[in-house]
């Protein structure tokens, strides 16, 4: 995989000749709606064969291992080389990729959920079904998700039940506070969870309690201990979704009840929700600016083992109508494909912010209103995957699988081998 940024005067024919690949392979990798129209500043994934190194005069396996930052034994295993001293000029050496775990949150059931998992299952270790809900009485809200679980398993994807404090369409601080204050209700809830997981074929529980009152921090920790004991004694994994904190004592309703060290100790892994800086009710900004993501990771790795951290990655963008007015402006969530369509429709070049490692652009609509769009492309996903390597993390977690970003998958598999359990 290579990434090419479109310049003025480019055509797909010219790009395909430059890289000696077919136009159809470029169109397929990027799921292009209109191959005859390109946008200046648009990034394109250029599909290439698997990473292969052609041995040059004077090269050794040690030198090749240093070039690609992989171990000699890993190269030997990948290429069935028994003697590391016996390689020859012109030999094709396949470079092994690091293995990571990948989770994706799924918000749809039925035919649409099945289709999404059919399309993305090859790139996932887990999918988390969003969502099952707690109740004040300990009764588990449920979903008709049997068919998507079956599709996931046919693709080798491990299904996780995602448990939330959703009430209606929002996370409820009051609901989770009532729940955490009653041990009997929690035990009843955990019994219902275990029974449902066994019945439907779930293999792990992902807890996503958000906007928990700071006063309930220790109660949340105690519930997590009970949940971890229940899950592990029944052969299930347990994981949690954590707000993106940059310090242990970060103030705010989203952050204070999320105790990183306790979650890191009790769970099998955590999902860091490293997105939503550019949130719908806030001013225009990158959804996951990489400089801010790294600030979260700098703290997280001091409190949670690196091999337990999945870094959150967004699969969506946003379109803000300008001027932004706090409390009034609500950005529209857009897919990657829609972000590209709007740039084409309004004839604007795409820019790239190197600090945030994110593409963006502005346009004027038919009514004369100005807009600002931020989203992710192949370049920004590459920056995210380099960050996973840099910090030595367990892997990645996507929000959400129904918001597709086609080039992402090519970038993912060019960097990593996705683990299947």
Residue 405: C-alpha distances to residues 69, 142, 172, 336 (Å): 28, 29, 30, 5
Residue 389 tokens read as 């390597």
In a 3-state reduction of DSSP, which class is residue 340?
Answer: helix
- Out of 114, 210, 256, 292, which one is annotated catalytic? 210
- Beta strands 92-94 and 395-399: pairing type? unpaired
CB contact set of 267 (below 8 Å; sequence gap of 6+): 224, 228, 238, 239, 240, 308
Backbone phi, then psi, for 420, in 5-degree steps? -120, 130
Q: Quote the strand ranges of 177-260, DSSP E.
A: 204-208, 237-242
Instruction: Give the single-character DSSP code of 347.
Output: T
Query: CA–CA separation, 22 vs 142, rounded Å?
Result: 47
Query: CA–CA separation, 359 vs 311, rounded Å?
Result: 20
| Burial (CB count within 10 angstroms: exposed 0-12, middle 13-18, buried 19+), residue 396 | buried
If one counts every other C-beta atom within 10 angstroms of the C-beta of residue 307, the result is 11
360 near 370, Cβ under 8 Å? no
Measured distance between the N- and C-terminal CA atoms of the chain, rounded to whole angstroms: 26
What is the secondary structure of 103-164 as a DSSP string? EEEE---HHHHHHHHHHHGGG-SEEEEEEEE--TTSPPP----HHHHHHHHHTTPEEEEEEE
> Is 370 in the active site?
no
CB contact set of 75 (below 8 Å; sequence gap of 6+): 61, 64, 65, 81, 93, 95, 96
Query: CA–CA separation, 163 vs 271, rounded Å?
Result: 13
> Which residues is 269 bridged to in the sheet?
239
Quote helix, strand, coil % in the chain, to nearest 5: 40, 20, 40
Which residues carry out catalysis? 210
């Amino acid at each position: 995989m290579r990434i090419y940024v479109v310049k003025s005067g480019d055509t797909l024919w010219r790009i395909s000749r430059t890289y000696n690949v077919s136009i159809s392979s470029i169109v397929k990798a990027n799921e292009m709606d209109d191959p005859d129209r390109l946008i200046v500043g648009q990034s394109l994934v250029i599909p290439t064969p698997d990473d292969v190194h052609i041995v040059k005069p004077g090269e050794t396996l040690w030198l090749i291992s240093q070039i690609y930052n992989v171990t000699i034994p890993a190269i030997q295993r990948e290429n069935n080389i028994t003697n590391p001293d016996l390689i020859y000029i012109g030999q094709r050496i396949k470079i092994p990729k690091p293995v990571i775990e990948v989770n994706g949150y799924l918000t749809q059931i039925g035919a649409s959920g099945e289709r999404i998992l059919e399309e993305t299952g090859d790139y996932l270790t887990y999918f988390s079904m969003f969502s099952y809900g707690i109740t004040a009485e300990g009764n588990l809200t449920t979903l008709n998700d049997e068919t998507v679980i079956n599709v996931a398993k046919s693709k080798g994807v491990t299904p996780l039940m995602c448990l939330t404090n959703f009430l209606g369409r929002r996370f409820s601080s009051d609901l989770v506070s009532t729940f955490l204050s009653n041990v009997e209700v929690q035990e009843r809830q955990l019994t219902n969870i275990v029974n449902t997981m066994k019945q439907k074929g779930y293999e792990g529980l992902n807890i996503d309690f958000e906007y928990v009152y700071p006063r309930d921090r220790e109660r949340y920790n105690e519930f997590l201990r009970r949940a971890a004991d229940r899950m592990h004694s029944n052969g299930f994994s347990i994981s949690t979704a954590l707000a993106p904190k940059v310090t242990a004592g970060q103030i705010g309703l989203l952050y204070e009840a999320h105790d990183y060290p306790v979650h890191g100790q009790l769970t099998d892994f955590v999902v860091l929700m490293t997105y939503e800086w550019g949130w719908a009710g806030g001013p225009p900004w990158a959804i996951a600016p990489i400089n801010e993501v790294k600030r979260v990771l700098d703290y997280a790795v001091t409190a949670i083992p690196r091999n337990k951290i999945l870094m959150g990655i967004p699969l969506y963008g946003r379109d803000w109508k300008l001027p932004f007015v706090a409390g009034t402006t609500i950005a529209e969530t857009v897919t990657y494909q829609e972000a590209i369509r709007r740039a084409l429709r309004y004839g604007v070049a795409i820019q790239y912010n190197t600090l945030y490692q994110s593409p963006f652009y502005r346009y004027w609509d038919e009514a004369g209103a100005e807009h600002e769009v931020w989203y992710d492309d192949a370049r920004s996903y590459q920056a995210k995957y380099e960050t996973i390597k840099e910090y030595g993390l367990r892997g990645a977690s996507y929000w959400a699988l129904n918001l597709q970003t086609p080039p992402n998958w090519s970038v993912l598999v060019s960097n990593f081998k996705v683990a299947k359990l």
